[in-house]
Chain A
Amino acid sequence: MKRQKQKQLLGIAALIIAAAIWQFVAEYVVGRSFILPSVTDVAVAFVNLLASGTLLIDIGVSFKHFGIGILAAIFLGVPVGILMGWFRVADSLLDPIIEILRPIPPLAWIPFAIIWFGLTAAAAGFVIFVGAFFPILTATYTAFRSVPKIYVEAGKVLGCDTSFELIRHVALPSAIPSIASGIRISMGVGWMCLVAAEMFGVSRNGLGYQLWHNYYLHQMPEVVVYMLILGFAGLIIDHIFRHYVDQRLLRWHEGEVAS
């Protein structure tokens, strides 16, 4: 307990020192807010953005884009991964297509995202979807390929007589830990795609859009505010997800693995 507290205090101290060095360098070494905004510049910009209300709107819009992309990736990636992992025929059919599409960087889809969906939330969501889809697909596929045979056989002798029942009651629960970690990875990738998609004009709102917009206006303290918020939001998303998964879904898994 005392260790924990000590560690926290040290962490806070390090942050304060880093901020102080940043402030000093920005003000007395660089001296130009355009090249390196100081801590106080950034703080003022943050308060202004918050007061004007645009910040909350942009956070909301970005989360909407992110939600659309991630949910679409889960709802498509998991079933396709299951099909490919469980049925050889589906694997043989879909694998070549997947292998051609997978190496295309998600951002390369931006032109078509705009042509297909216009400047809508769906367009930004689509780019995020492309980035998030493959990690989820791969994780689901791999997990289904490595379901221990003993569980499948136990399921069979206990009365699972269709593939659907085996998938639903045996393979899927056993695959959940690695699907969850696939989703976690895809959320990281999706968050990066979000910024890029919004930057490149797939949207007229959102944190990524504002970051780029403020760069055009040469308001660099605002740019730093958006950078920090993007980092912070990504961190929070990851924490919430991990917390939820560990608590709710994976209590059993903790006892099964070396930690």
Chain B
Amino acid sequence: MEDPIIQIKDLSKSYGSFRAVEGLNLNIHKGEIFGLLGPNGAGKTTTILMMLGLTEPSGGTVHVGGYLSAANPIPVKKIVGYMPDSLGFYDQMTAMENLMYIAGLNGLADAEGRKRALEMLDTVGLAAEKDKKTGVYSRGMKQRLGLAEVLIKKPEVIILDEPTLGIDPSGVKDFLSLIRSLSREHGITVLLSSHHLHHVQQICDRVGIFVKGKLLAEGNIESLSKELFGHEGYVTSVQVRQHIPNPWPLQNELMHWDGLRKMSIRGKEVEFTSSQDLTAELVRFFVKENYDVLSVHQKDYGLDEIYHKYFEGEQG
């Protein structure tokens, strides 16, 4: 396997006695969509700034595309497109002028820059608004213009800091699928930071959970969920029409079942934890005992649970 395009080794950053990032190790491979997930103030933005050489690490190194970010930021910035979380444009200039300026700074000649700017505006769906001043752009439009600006230099890596912040739900969906298709078509590596779990879950190949400056876990969503909840086994919750008393006379019989480890009764709902999948047997049991089963739900751990789990662990 070739070298990872982003290599972070023992990275740390402190502000006085506050440690924003501590001992971060992370490799991101070419073409991957990686989600950096964590609450506000976890050190995500600081990490990103260190990748771009916009702030100096207190310890450790970041290599992007083989270049050391802290010492040699110019070649890094040539291949990395970065969209910051609080996105701003020169309000007195039109979208086109803004893009042309960035194209120029990336060493594109005027004609080439113009051609590519038009292309990018078309890609992000802003072609009709290209001559409007960015001062009148809405948040979602700015976000898309930001993406156009990131893409204009044909980057190998794009880093998006909270890209879904402040866009409405349908906008988020479009935006994320745009990112995903761009990444797949052009083989662009994407690093995405967010505190919105669902957004990340939609498009990321791999996520890293980042709390208080530390990377607590890393991997794809299935492996994370297995790692975390594997010891708990399967969780099935059954909801019935009748009220179930607590203690329940049938409880003892059930507890003798093979593999059933735990059950908790909450009014009309019972939750079972078992080492193997007992859903079918449980439903049959309830029907036999004349309960009207309204819903059966087998718990599938998403990022939400993973995230909360880690977050609780950190606080506890």
Task: Verify that A and B bind, or say they do not.
Answer: no
Residues of A near any B CB (own CB < 8 A): none
Residues of B near any A CB (own CB < 8 A): none
